[in-house]
Amino acid sequence: MTFETGPYIQVAAFCDSVLEDKTGALSLIRVVDRLTHSVPGPDAPLEMPEVRRPMKLVIMLKSGQARGRHELKVQPELPSGEMKDPMLLSVHFEGEERGKNIIMDMQFPFTMEGLYWFHLYLNDTLITKVPFRVQYQRIVTGHSPQPESR
């Protein structure tokens, strides 16, 4: 499948929130592509603990010549290269300038530092990838209790 005649990607991005007016127009609030996870304290772990950041994945597609129902798959890839289970949903295209706005609530478990890729497939054909970088900031404060010596 090629996408020379549609559907076309208008937007594929992460953001904090989305407003939709009564005409269906979307406003993406605070588009993000990275997270710095800070853990302060005397015993801040060396390795990043799992973190879940609530956000939205917004995918806006325009039909072009595409018609009917298609399967959209979002498959996360960890910085290690491991592919996680995909999220699947059906989209219906009406043709021409008509499109589909997909707003997915995300609570993805980020388990390591690095660059995550979210692969977008339409009918098992890769149409784009959306990057998201996670950084870990360990902030050691105070002193850890030292064992007493005898």
Identify whether 44 is part of a domain: no
- For residue 147, pLDDT over 60 is answered with no
Identify whether 148 is part of a domain: no
User: Are 149 and 88 contacting, i.e. CB atoms less than 8 angstroms apart?
Assistant: no
Q: How far apart are CA 96 and CA 55, in angstroms?
A: 30
Identify the band that residue 144 occupies on the pLDDT scale cut at 50, 70 and 90: low
Identify the band that residue 128 occupies on the pLDDT scale cut at 50, 70 and 90: very high
Identify whether 37 is part of a domain: no
- For residue 146, pLDDT over 60 is answered with no
- For residue 43, pLDDT over 60 is answered with yes
Mean pLDDT, all residues of the chain: 91
Mean per-residue pLDDT, 86-93:
94
Read off the amino acid at residue 113.
E
Identify the band that residue 149 occupies on the pLDDT scale cut at 50, 70 and 90: low
Identify whether 38 is part of a domain: no
Identify whether 117 is part of a domain: yes
- Strands 55-64 and 8-20, sheet pairing: antiparallel
Model confidence, pTM: 0.88
Mean per-residue pLDDT, 123-132:
95
* Closest to 119 in 3D by CA, of 35, 26, 9: 9
* Closest to 9 in 3D by CA, of 139, 150, 85, 122: 122
Identify whether 81 is part of a domain: yes
User: What's the pLDDT score for residue 95?
Assistant: 83
Residues 6+ apart with CB under 8 A from 26: 18, 19, 20, 58, 60, 101, 103
Identify whether 66 is part of a domain: yes
Owning domain of residue 80: 8-32+52-135
User: What's the pLDDT score for residue 5?
Assistant: 84
Total count of domains within the chain: 1
Which residue's structure tokens are 């800070």?
A: 38
Q: Which residues partner with 44 through β-bridges?
A: none
Mean per-residue pLDDT, 58-79:
95
CATH classification at residue 73: 2.60.40.10
Identify whether 146 is part of a domain: no
User: What's the pLDDT score for residue 141?
Assistant: 85
